[in-house]
A and B are shown apart, each in its own frame.
Chain A
Amino acid sequence: MTRALTGAWLVFAVTAWAPSVADAQEGEGTTAEEHDGDLGEALRGGLDTNVWLVEAQLGIAGSIVERGPQVTESDGAPLGVLAAFTTGLRTDYFVTPAIDIAYYGLGRSTDRVVDPSGAEGVIDNRLQLATVSFGLLVDLWRFRIRFGTGAFHLALDTRTGGVEAETSRWDFGWLLGIAGYFYRDEGRQLGFEGRVAIDAGSDIVVLTLGLVATVDALSF
């Protein structure tokens, strides 16, 4: 799957990027006018400057997993908080290269589990994922598609029988998302985004739903 995603990413990036690069080579910077209707008064004033997108998101996250050991009793939740920050450079077209930094809480619980000998034991777990990904945002009317790739850091804190352990792993991962905006005004947007984050090393798939606020801002 990783190979296919890599191929898809390359095709997507090259075809999306080509016109913008060509423009830049002809001496064209990204101008505010080309974002007509979405920017504030200052931007419509014809400033020949770059426009940056800044975005914050808050939501819930959970991972798709197959059940492991038999749990006879559980206190906690298999879900957690999603907190994400994105910034990107608006281009002449509807494609915005962006960087995304996100935290995903993937569960925190105290479980009574049956071990291989059939005995019951109690284990506390906390699983978290932090990601830094680079990619593209593709705007289509009131919707936006996100496609990114980057470094994923998965961390587990666990404790059983009074013994604690921490373990983590860095992996390559993929980020896909689709957002729909219910409010747009003067370069400000508010909507919901659903994400799929795929940790390619551990094969964990994370699903999220969050409220996303986006603002277009000037660079200096």
Chain B
Amino acid sequence: MRSEPAVTPVGPSLILAHQLLLLHVLLVPSLGCDGRANVEHRTFPEGGMLADAVPVPQVSLPALRGIFTTDGELRRFGDLVSVHSTASGVSLFGDEDARYALLDAGCLEDGSRLVLEGEHRVAVDVDTGLLRFEVEPPSLAAALCRGDADASDPGLHPGARLSGVYGEGDDLPDLPAGASFTGPLVPIDDFTVASHRGGCRTIDDCGVSENSIEAVVSAERFGATSVEIDVRFTRDGVPVLYHDAKLSSRLTRGRYCVGEIANLDLAHLQANCRLRFGEAMPTLEEALDAALGQTNLRAVWLDVKSDQDVPTLVEITRRINARAEALGRSFRVFIGCPSQAVYDAFVALGPPDVPCLVELSLDDVIAAGCEIWGPRYTLGPMAEEVARARAAGIRTVFWTVNGQEFIDLLLTDSDPAGLLTDRPHLVFHRDQMLRGGYE
């Protein structure tokens, strides 16, 4: 005799329909996005107006720096933007949706016009578009193109303006946008904007892969003064830049790019793997050479993954720092101790003769004789501890802070010496807003 099931009778087809609907709802969006931003980077057709431009004298670009009040469509960046310059061009940073723009500069018509062109991006999303500005008044543009502007001037003179057009998506820019000089940038010499994973996480898609030479070289355009990079060792003992112990298509490409880095020689990696945006996986020395020779970055923070790696990395750090000193560069490589094992291995080498950073307790930093304390931002501002560190001559750099609310909280409540972030442009801008007294 068969008894009735002790459940509410539900037809099998109804159960299946229910299951398939739930599966569809749960799976389709996730499979579609693959967890990676799908950013379409924009460039002007046929090189835009800058195709026929001549480069702006490098001495002129720093004179474009300042805090500008936005108008027109540029108000999407917020009421104020920080205008930053590097040897590569000019950048605009706003705090509305963590927007930024990376612009190239060029002079037109015998140096009477100075044009800025490039892409803007919503960092918290995937929206991009094109921007074009001209520097006004024309007399200022001409002075900058001649190289006559005073590069030591912390910013443009009152009345100076960026006047131009803004575009969304694929559209050529045609919406009025502008910004007027409001004040100079606050000197950033004593504050560290450290860029996480060499400049930009692969998942954030700035157009370059994390832990690549290209990321390190472009970090300054995003406002970084330093970079943090991750170091792994190949089987034949070569330190390379890579975050994870194991290869995956999250960070690399290549049919045979799988397995553990520690099980493969550099030759296998270079023959089988490219980073997500096509770059070669760099060795540590290649990356440090690039940071030293191709940028004005002040520091590189090595995230040491294993205690066994410490002696080799200390040796490389010592050598690179000696080269920087010989070149007269204000540039230092720091050994980062993120774990007790790495810390113990570092301390066991004796009093440090290379700069070091400890992510453990402040007492550990003091005991090791290191210069920088790197606490997690989730521990909170810890104002008293940060003040105690400052009194002991130790700089505090929180990691890894991306949200504006946390950036502001740390900058106002504990006044750290710097922040490690995936959004250096936002940290740069918020530091300017808060220290500059704009908020």
Contacts and interface: CB of A to CB of B under 8 A. Distances in A.
A67 B253 contact: yes
Contacts of A12: 19, 22-23
Interface in A69-86: 69, 78
Given A12-B19, A68-B274, A163 B265 contact: yes
Given A1-B31, A28-B2, A165-B235, A15 B280 contact: no
Interface residues of B, number: 47
B273 A68 contact: yes
| Chain B CB within 10 A, most for which of A69, A138, A203 | A69
A69 B29 CA distance: 30
Contacts of A8: 22-23, 26-27
Contacts of A18: 7
A204 interface: yes
B18 to A, nearest CB: 6
A140 B15 CA distance: 13
Contacts of B19: 11-12, 15-16
A41 interface: no
Contacts of A169: 246, 258-260
A76 B17 CA distance: 44
A201 B3 CA distance: 46
A156 B253 contact: no
A18 B250 CA distance: 37
Interface stretch (A52-60, A97-105, A115-123, A212-220): A115-123
A40 to B, nearest CB: 23
A131 to B, nearest CB: 15
B254 A67 contact: yes
B252 interface: yes
A68 B255 contact: yes
Contacts of A203: 248-250
B239 to A, nearest CB: 16
A28 B26 CA distance: 33
A115 B271 CA distance: 6
A1 B36 CA distance: 11
A160 interface: yes
B379 interface: no
Nearest to A93: B12
B263 interface: yes
Interface string A187-220: 0000000000000011110000000000000000
B265 A165 contact: yes
Contacts of B22: 8, 11-12, 15
A113 to B, nearest CB: 5
Nearest to B213: A116
Contacts of A168: 259-260, 263
Contact of A123 (B34, B35, B268): B268
A158 B270 contact: no
B391 interface: no
A147 to B, nearest CB: 8
A169 B258 CA distance: 8
- A contacts with B: majority SS: mixed
B272 interface: yes
Given A69-B274, A107-B255, A156-B259, A1 B34 contact: yes
A167 B235 CA distance: 11
B16 interface: yes
A154 B6 contact: no
Given A1-B30, A158-B256, A165 B268 contact: yes
Contacts of A138: 16
A68 B259 contact: no
B146 to A, nearest CB: 40
B30 A166 contact: no
B264 interface: yes
Contact of A19 (B7, B30, B265): B7
B247 interface: yes
Given A4-B30, A116-B280, A123-B272, A204 B249 contact: yes
A68 B246 CA distance: 17
A28 B267 contact: no
28 contacts: A1-B34, A8-B23, A8-B26, A15-B22, A19-B7, A22-B5, A22-B7, A63-B255, A66-B249, A67-B255, A68-B252, A68-B273, A69-B273, A106-B255, A115-B267, A125-B272, A155-B259, A156-B256, A158-B264, A158-B268, A158-B272, A165-B264, A165-B265, A167-B259, A167-B260, A168-B263, A201-B248, A204-B249
Please list the 6 inter-chain residue pairs (A to B) with the smallest Cβ-Cβ separation, ordered nearest first: A68-B254, A167-B259, A116-B280, A167-B263, A4-B30, A125-B256
Interface of A: 1, 4-5, 7-8, 11-12, 15-16, 18-19, 22-23, 25-28, 63, 65-69, 78, 93-94, 106-107, 111, 113, 115-116, 121, 123, 125, 127, 138, 140, 154-156, 158, 160-161, 163, 165-169, 201-204
Interface of B: 2-7, 10, 12, 15-16, 18-19, 22-23, 26-27, 29-31, 34-35, 235, 246-250, 252-260, 263-265, 267-268, 270-274, 280
Given A1-B31, A201-B248, 6 more contacts: A5-B27, A28-B3, A67-B253, A116-B280, A127-B258, A140-B16
